[in-house]
Amino acid sequence: MAALNTSFAGQRLNKAAARKVSAKVTTRAVKPVTRAQAVAAPADVSSETVMDCVNTIRFLAIDAINKSNSGHPGLPMGCAPMGYVIYREAMTHNPKNYQWFNRDRFVLSAGHGCMLQYSLMHLTGYPSVSNDDLKNFRQWDSVTPGHPENFITNGIEVTTGPLGMGICNAVGLAMAEKHLAGRFNKPDCEIVDHYTYAIMGDGCNMEGMSGEGASLAAHWGLGKLIAFYDDNSISIDGHTDISFTEDVCARYEAYGWHVQHVQDGNTDLDAIRDAINKAKADPRPSLIKVTTLIGYGSPNKSNSHDVHGAPLGADETKATRENLGWKYEPFEVPEDVSKYMDCSEKGAAAEAAWNKKFAEYKEKYPEDYAELNSIITGELPAGWADALPEFTPEDAGVATRIHSQTMLNALGSAIPGFIGGSADLAPSNMTLMKQFGDFQKDTPAERNVRYGVREHGMGAIANGIALHSPGFKSYCATFFIFSDYMRSAMRIAALSGAPTLFVMTHDSIGVGEDGPTHQPIEHLASFRAMPGMLMMRPADGNETAGAYQIGVEQTDRPTTFALSRQVVPNLAGTSREGVRKGAYVVAGPAAGEDCDCIIIGTGTELELAVNAAKELGAKARAVSMPCWELFEEQSDEYKASILPKGVPTVSIEAGSTFGWSKYADISIGRDDFGASAPAGILYKEFGITTEAAVKAAKSLM
Amino acid sequence: MAALNTSFAGQRLNKAAARKVSAKVTTRAVKPVTRAQAVAAPADVSSETVMDCVNTIRFLAIDAINKSNSGHPGLPMGCAPMGYVIYREAMTHNPKNYQWFNRDRFVLSAGHGCMLQYSLMHLTGYPSVSNDDLKNFRQWDSVTPGHPENFITNGIEVTTGPLGMGICNAVGLAMAEKHLAGRFNKPDCEIVDHYTYAIMGDGCNMEGMSGEGASLAAHWGLGKLIAFYDDNSISIDGHTDISFTEDVCARYEAYGWHVQHVQDGNTDLDAIRDAINKAKADPRPSLIKVTTLIGYGSPNKSNSHDVHGAPLGADETKATRENLGWKYEPFEVPEDVSKYMDCSEKGAAAEAAWNKKFAEYKEKYPEDYAELNSIITGELPAGWADALPEFTPEDAGVATRIHSQTMLNALGSAIPGFIGGSADLAPSNMTLMKQFGDFQKDTPAERNVRYGVREHGMGAIANGIALHSPGFKSYCATFFIFSDYMRSAMRIAALSGAPTLFVMTHDSIGVGEDGPTHQPIEHLASFRAMPGMLMMRPADGNETAGAYQIGVEQTDRPTTFALSRQVVPNLAGTSREGVRKGAYVVAGPAAGEDCDCIIIGTGTELELAVNAAKELGAKARAVSMPCWELFEEQSDEYKASILPKGVPTVSIEAGSTFGWSKYADISIGRDDFGASAPAGILYKEFGITTEAAVKAAKSLM
């Protein structure tokens, strides 16, 4: 780890003196800030203006948080210098087109400090964050919520707040860049070429998931990932000494990162610039630990937990203004700051240059262009869904995880942005695309991702890929039980509209011998209850095809596939179109026809439901219900035609019956944990059988 | 990191030669294996017998997995040497009393290798694992399930399988030991003094949660935690090179661990012994990386994924027998092995010596004895529940997280084993016990635990504490939303019967400005669906007291408390006894009396339910339902007296309505994500109001 020695005089200042010293910054030689150039101190403005920019960022945060009487001023005040260097000097972005493909990405992993980002976006010229929006911080219907939300604020890349998540999203964004660069760049045309910046706090680094992402980032050689660690030694419980005494930098070196330390992140902008330049020069992902004072500038609250998550208040704001020599009104942006911070012109020029390059690329490499453009725009190749096969009852029965493999392989060939892998369970999840190799440090153009045993990191990385460009179809896989390890990433996918595909195999007690630590019970219910998540449990080949088709079509919500370990037959009556309705009739009286009882099954238990209906006679209906969410979206008429009120209804599903009372009079399932034994024995012992369904239906008739 | 240099000749053997070489081990000087002594090569048996012990472990695993046609032979075959040294030589344990308090603890964090542990338990004399039990591996109703389950097999400490979980449990066990030792040991009487051993695999070390536990273990100075890292470079996807190239040992050094490397874990028992001795001599937690060959002994499958999770099969078993020179029948234990491995006598003597010491302790330190004995036996002090206060409507309303603080403080004084803390949210979760200081490296007798921002590790550590001794009442806390980070640990608590107390504050959209990343929606439903978990959502002071009383009474299931950020009044009609029933009447017609409608509320919405019932007239009943699980355990008569069939029923709860159709005709709640705005505005905008409940009830009447 290199501790930076910078030439900036007086970098270890006390708080009160710091503001004045900024005027002494030595102006460097003129270097135009363009992509190919190093980050450098600006030549075209005074260092005083630069420090005014930094303090504007601080005071916009202070003012907005005071006005909303809620928020976290400590991080924006401490991180304003690095934020300034990143957004104004280092990043290539076009505020007037937040969707420009080749923009540098920024992730505030310490999401509670979002006023830093809102201030930076406002100052650099994002129309999405006006001065009025800053005044509406954390208010109903505002675009400046309490944590950064990509689905609310144009220009926010991912949704952060849960700590450790953002840095893993950033790993996904950087991985997506490396993949596309490796796949599409040509010796004469580097069409994909951007950096991913992130700011982490102590909390992010305490979370285990950040370690998962960091380990993969180094393994993959994500040299264009530059993560700042805001090392302020304060967390909510107080000084980090009480729970966090490891050597974080040494840990990142153990992962294989390039690690630097900026000793005075409060005032030493040159050291931050130098660190970014060195980070760019190193082929490894870079951690720049920046030691800051939380709440920098506040004479009585800085360096304490008091400034972490509560407004400064009138008195301390006054004292901070005096301390930093801030003479402007609340929410006022000095004119020179406003002018100098605006990146619109620079950004538009950068995008225009890239657009020109992309036009040349189209000319020279039309096939690559078509693929890359599909990823950039999200427009899938015409007829992609035709790649999904159809099945008849004559086709050999296989586990739905095997069907899933068929779909993944078909979609991998049909859709340019299809990419993904498993958390070290590829041979069990059946997730390898046979036509591709592994995405690795030296083979970045490949599309099978080896996530290792890192479910939580995997989920967040997969979300980052999905949100990099709309044409990415990013899947990730593990046993369904281990959704418990990655639930927060799955929820953030649902909240933030990341259309990630979560491939969850071994979806019930059908797991068998591995026992109750590996057998999902309540998991279907728990995801059905989660807003914004399509929870799919297909029963056979046609339903697996339908589930994947729908999952791929989604542009703003994720899909979870619950897939079986055990073999299922291809049933008569199942269809892709049926899946689209969420629930539909597969045997017995058709929709709208009279029936005297209904047996609903899902996934591996649809076969039992069909058999039960057959036993119950010609007026018994078997309904497949692969997706509750889609069923709820149907018209009342459709719903009533499938599950009419007053008809005795039984559900059968190898999982918790929780929630089924909405549709069924009697629910057959398993509300206690599973056990270690062959799957067939478990089904029998737990009473999840055709006979049980028949008996239940008869008891209602 | 010290690479061990051992004197053992021939430690780098090829597989085929290894068996024979064991005969060349130089016998060491006689050292009785007693607690105070170092682990040493045994003097009273031949080195051939020792190697027979190791191979017996290997072949019992091979045979059981072959017989069940399912399981993971690779780890037991590779880890048999370290397993032998740990169970036979290093550990102080009494197989005939698996509950002996001062036993060394062992955790197989790589739980899929459980046949290693079953073999070791069988051979060292645990009555719980007979030879027949080995033959019933992974079968219905056997005591040898597919992963180690403490609730099935006497002598298993914790339930493992989900990777990374076990090492965190082990941190909890070691932390519990350090706490008790610091609190109860006297200069003349070290009554608490045991080690905690664990075996991790590559998978455990890829999981972020293991890093959380490891960081805390070093921070706390858990010098009696000795973790073996079975470094075999193979995981399910193949060679670990494809996803795991970090320097694990350097990472543990960065956490602050003492790190060693045994280069030949296949045959070099002396190196393992030496490493344990050095680990014991070092005040830090120790990682012993042991390089092994997965499936050691199998000529064609070792060092490959093929041996990880599938039976060897007849042919390869034969080849392995030949390779290792194994001449015994399947499941046969050579007589000298059987005799030599049995630790019953040694263990009984150790326990007897300790019992004598404890009797002396009782004599000399009666008060300390009473506290420690309560922790050892789980017998709580008489009248402990009297410490919980009662409330009347005249008492000032506060948030239920504040009531929770009152209960935690009361219980901390009343119950010797009450211990816990928060994942860096103590001032928000309100979890500090004011009468105690922080459990830290140098103040281990204290009882406030500072977990840092490490929810998953925290949950597993808290489970470890809970399972160390039945008198521990181990609580841990975070925002309810971050239960998503620790869900697997909470589920393992439920499965394994750890009566951990999960204190989850900020339990709804009532969080307000922090927004949807911080607002639980589906979480109540998701835990109600989880088997074995008591999900409590108390409404005020009396209900919080009742919830804690019930939570503390549990001996074999965990409790989750959902607690409010916002203020609630103390309501008329609430009671501790009511909570015990799960649901009960708080206003309107009493249980069994006629009513014309029912409004069910929980937690912060009980007030709205009561107000709605009042508006609806004298025949409207308000029911509080703090715990679905307890309600379901009541008699049918009781249930019908509270929620009679046919009476229009409305539920109101600030969360997902998922599952409520079981009890209510109309459910008022929030099925989409929350938003960032003041809480009061969210309630209004989302329609979670008294008016909505009144309107809904009227629509049904």
What residues does each domain of chain A span?
A: 45-348, 384-568, 581-700
pLDDT over threshold 70, residue A559? yes
Share of chain B above pLDDT 90, in %: 93
Q: Collapse the DSSP code of A569 into the 3-class scheme (helix H, G, I; strand E, B; otherwise coil) and give the result.
A: coil
Mean pLDDT of B178-182: 98
Over A281-305, what HEC string results? HCCCCEEEEEECCCCCCCCCCCCCH
- Provide the CATH topology of domain A384-568: Rossmann fold (3.40.50)
pLDDT at position A244: 97
Share of chain B above pLDDT 70, in %: 95
Length of chain B: 701
Q: Is A142–B676 a contact, with Cβ atoms under 8 angstroms apart?
A: yes
pLDDT at position A43: 83
Q: Is A659–B451 a contact, with Cβ atoms under 8 angstroms apart?
A: no
Please state at what angle helix B400-414 crosses helix B541-553, rounded to 10 degrees.
40
Architecture of domain A581-700: 3-Layer(aba) Sandwich (3.40)
> With bands split at pLDDT 50, 70 and 90, how would you rate the model's confidence at A41?
confident
CB-based contact A160:A108 (threshold 8 Å): yes
The full DSSP string for B354-401 is HHHHHHHHHHH-HHHHHHHHHHHH--PPTTGGGGS----TTSPPEEHH
pLDDT over threshold 70, residue A6? no
Instruction: Decide: residue A14, CB within 10 A, 0-12 exposed, 13-18 middle, 19+ buried.
Output: exposed
Q: Collapse the DSSP code of A381 into the 3-class scheme (helix H, G, I; strand E, B; otherwise coil) and give the result.
A: coil
Which residues does residue A238 pair with via DSSP β-bridges, in sequence order?
Answer: A235
Mean pLDDT of B19-39: 41
Tokens of B65: 């997995």
Please tell me which residue of chain A has the smallest CA distance to B658.
A529
Q: Give residue B58's identity as a one-letter amino acid code.
A: R
How far apart CA B203 and CA B198 sit, in angstroms, is: 14
Which of A136, A429, A453 would best serve as a mutation to test chain B binding (most B beta carbons within 10 A)?
Answer: A453
Measured from the Cβ of residue A12, the count of other Cβ atoms closer than 10 Å reads 10
Higher pLDDT, A44 or B468: B468
Over B599-644, what HEC string results? EEECHHHHHHHHHHHHHHCCCEEEEECCCHHHHHCCCHHHHHHHCC
Mean pLDDT of B529-553: 98
Quick check: is B455 catalytic?
A: yes
Higher pLDDT, B126 or A2: B126
Measured from the Cβ of residue B206, the count of other Cβ atoms closer than 10 Å reads 29
CB-based contact B620:B613 (threshold 8 Å): yes
Looking at CA atoms only, how far is residue B527 from chain A in angstroms? Answer: 8
- Mean pLDDT, chain B, rounded, equals 94
Cβ-Cβ contacts under 8 Å, B202 against chain A: 453
Could you give the ipTM of this predicted complex? 0.94
| Residue B646 marked as a ligand binder | no
pLDDT over threshold 80, residue B658? yes
- Tell which residue, B685, B644, B680, has the closest CA to residue B665: B644
Which of A246, A479, A628 would best serve as a mutation to test chain B binding (most B beta carbons within 10 A)?
Answer: A246
Cβ-Cβ contacts under 8 Å, A218 against chain B: 245-246
The minimal CB distance from B515 to the residues A145, A248, A305 is found for: A145
* Rounded (10°) CA dihedral B567, B570, B573, B577: 90
pLDDT at position B37: 60
The full DSSP string for B164-229 is THHHHHHHHHHHHHHHHHHHH-BTTB------EEEEE-HHHHHSHHHHHHHHHHHHTT-TTEEEEE
- Mean pLDDT, chain A, rounded, equals 94
* Rounded (10°) CA dihedral A537, A542, A545, A549: -90
Q: Is A210–B208 a contact, with Cβ atoms under 8 angstroms apart?
A: yes
Cβ-Cβ contacts under 8 Å, B673 against chain A: 494-495, 531-532
- Tell which residue, A1, A45, A603, A596, has the closest CA to residue A250: A1
CB-based contact B256:A245 (threshold 8 Å): yes
CATH class of B45-348: alpha beta
pLDDT at position B38: 81
Cβ-Cβ contacts under 8 Å, A113 against chain B: none
pLDDT over threshold 60, residue B9? no
pLDDT at position A37: 59
What letters, b where the CB count within 10 A reaches 16 and e where it falls short, cover A612-630? bbbebeeebbbbbbbbbbb
| CB-facing half-sphere around the CA of B500: CA atoms within 13 A | 32
Tokens 């034969």 sit at which residue?
Answer: B318
Please give the radius of gyration of chain A, using alpha carbons only, rounded to the nearest integer: 28
How far apart CA A482 and CA B208 sit, in angstroms, is: 13
Looking at CA atoms only, how far is residue B680 from chain A in angstroms? Answer: 11
Tokens 């979760």 sit at which residue?
Answer: B429
Please tell me which residue of chain A has the smallest CA distance to B628.
A658
Residues of A taking part in catalysis: 455
Q: Is A525–B526 a contact, with Cβ atoms under 8 angstroms apart?
A: yes
How far apart CA A12 and CA A262 sit, in angstroms, is: 11
CB-based contact B96:B349 (threshold 8 Å): no
Q: Give A480-515 pLDDT, tens digit per residue.
A: 999 999 999 999 999 999 999 999 999 999 999 999
Cβ-Cβ contacts under 8 Å, B485 against chain A: 162, 207, 209, 456, 487-488
Mean pLDDT of B468-485: 98
Looking at CA atoms only, how far is residue A145 from chain B in angstroms? Answer: 5
Looking at CA atoms only, how far is residue B115 from chain A in angstroms? Answer: 12
B45-348 and B581-700 share one fold: yes
pLDDT over threshold 80, residue A588? yes
Q: Give B550-596 pLDDT, tens digit per residue.
A: 999 999 999 999 999 999 999 999 999 999 999 999 999 999 999 99
pTM over 0.90: yes
Measured from the Cβ of residue A227, the count of other Cβ atoms closer than 10 Å reads 31
How far apart CA A115 and CA A133 sit, in angstroms, is: 11
The minimal CB distance from A484 to the residues B138, B487, B676 is found for: B487
CB-based contact A671:A636 (threshold 8 Å): no
Length of chain A: 701
Please tell me which residue of chain A has the smallest CA distance to B530.
A522
**Alpha-carbon distance values, B61 to A461, B111, B120, B149, B264 (Å):** 38, 14, 10, 17, 21
The minimal CB distance from B236 to the residues A248, A428, A529 is found for: A428
Tokens of A78: 């401490």
How far apart CA A407 and CA A405 sit, in angstroms, is: 5
